[in-house]
Amino acid sequence: MSATPLDPSAPVPSVPLRLNRGFSVLCAHRVVSALTRSVADVACPIVVFDLTGSMAYAGMLAAAQLLVTAGMMLPAGTMAGRGGWRWIATTADMARGGMFVGVAVSLTTGVGDAWFVSAAALVNAVAGALLRPYLDDAVTTSVPTSQASVARARIRSRVLAAALAGMPLGGALLVWGGAVPFLFAGVAYLVAASALASVRRPVAATGRARPGFRDVRAGVRLLLSSSYPASMFGYAMFVNVTLASLPLALIAALHGYGAGPALIGVLLVPSGVAGICGSLAGPRIVARVRPERVMLSTAFTLPLLAALIGVLPGRYPTAAMVAVLVFAVAPFNVLFLTFVTGAVPPELRAEVSVATRFVARLTQPLGPLLAGFGVAIFGDLWTFLFIAAAGLLAAPMLLSRHIGFIRTVAR
């Protein structure tokens, strides 16, 4: 007797999440992907720098990865909305897994170069951008509606933990050889692909409306329609670029202090923890502190901390101050998002939200690009001092006669 094909639109049986095989596989896939991506993010700039001797090349690679991710943001969401493309996700995992295994083999045999490493990193970025909206839909359709929020929260917490664990793991694997992190990443992605292919229940389209370029244009036009929102938006993009520049600048600074790969991986963790803590504490800080104080403290704290990073010598003070900087700007980011959603009519908030996220993704590549060339030309310490100077020049963007309006909207 032939098996009856599973109907993706059929109700999902209500069972505990730990007994839901489809959810367990999807959760494990997200955790493995986060861990592996974090390992690759640590290994790629260090290996590329060792192969080329130029941090500028590492910066261009990091910028290209972020640019690819931004460019795939809207098309990937549209593809996911159509549903029925599990084979694309499996193929994407196999492609990036195969590329990383190839990089490991080439580095082991002595024929590997920075171009091959870069190609693998870009394939990884494309695959990650394709998979993200698909896996979001997959979680939604693999559990009952009553369990969806719990399932997403559980995945998010585990993904964050895996991303943090991947930083020291990537550095530790580099100690054993430049090829080892890529071999680990390749095997992990291939295993993840086989696990994803074993999910029997098809993933249906959720029917959610996906944002498009028309929504982005409408949102940007609205953001730029008045002087203060435009200036606040501009400063938010500066903060976004600054945060994107910090990982590569920190790696370069630690490398300059003679830190090995394992120690570099460990010293990247405080910044990751600071980012998570900042996102959690930011809303509470904004709820208790007047908006103008949040803005002014950010305007002057950011350049001060960047300058301290440039003048305080040593591996540990540098890593600690970068973590403090990451945490310090979190309240402003929360305030900015609160203002953006509160300053526009409810019917336009979706367009403004997607425009903000899209423009933020497009400006992020400037961070590692400028950091890479800054380190290559002036050195890592001067790069942090340039960030401080840029912060002072950008601070007047937050000084406006519309402070009262900001306070009203934020409250």
Instruction: Give the pair of three-digit tokens for residue 397.
Output: 């963007």
Whether 92 contacts 125, CB under 8 Å:
no
Residues 6 or more apart in contact with residue 250 via CB below 8 angstroms: 267, 268, 271, 318, 319, 322
pLDDT in tens, 30-84: 889 999 999 999 999 999 999 999 999 999 999 999 999 888 877 766 665 555 5
**Does residue 216 register a pLDDT over 70?**
no
pLDDT band at 187 (very low <50, low <70, confident <90, very high): very high
Query: Beta-carbon neighbour count of residue 262 at 10 Å?
Result: 17
Please give the helix or strand (H or E) that residue 185 lies within, else none: helix 180-197
Give the Cα separation of 298 and 284 in Å (integer): 16
Average pLDDT value for the chain: 82
Give the Cα separation of 132 and 149 in Å (integer): 17
**Does residue 3 register a pLDDT over 50?**
no
Please give the helix or strand (H or E) that residue 214 lies within, else none: helix 213-223
Nearest to 265 by CA among 128, 173, 154: 173
- CA pseudo-torsion sign 353, 358, 361, 362: negative
CA distances (Å), origin 345, targets 118, 215, 291, 332, 342? 44, 15, 20, 22, 8
Full set of structural domains in the chain with CATH? 19-197 (1.20.1250.20), 213-410 (1.20.1250.20)
pLDDT in tens, 314-353: 899 999 999 999 999 999 888 887 777 666 666 666 667 7
Determine which of 44-58, 91-105, 188-202, 270-284 has the lowest per-residue pLDDT on average.
Answer: 188-202
Alpha carbons within 13 A on the beta-carbon side of 63: 20
Query: Beta-carbon neighbour count of residue 175 at 10 Å?
Result: 13
- CA pseudo-torsion sign 126, 235, 407, 402: negative
Give the Cα separation of 27 and 392 in Å (integer): 43
Instruction: Give the pair of three-digit tokens for residue 252.
Output: 């370069």
- CA pseudo-torsion sign 286, 288, 291, 295: negative
**Does residue 313 register a pLDDT over 50?**
yes
pLDDT band at 6 (very low <50, low <70, confident <90, very high): very low
**Does residue 276 register a pLDDT over 80?**
yes
Residues 6 or more apart in contact with residue 261 via CB below 8 angstroms: 42, 46, 170, 171, 172, 174, 175
pLDDT in tens, 239-256: 999 999 999 999 999 999
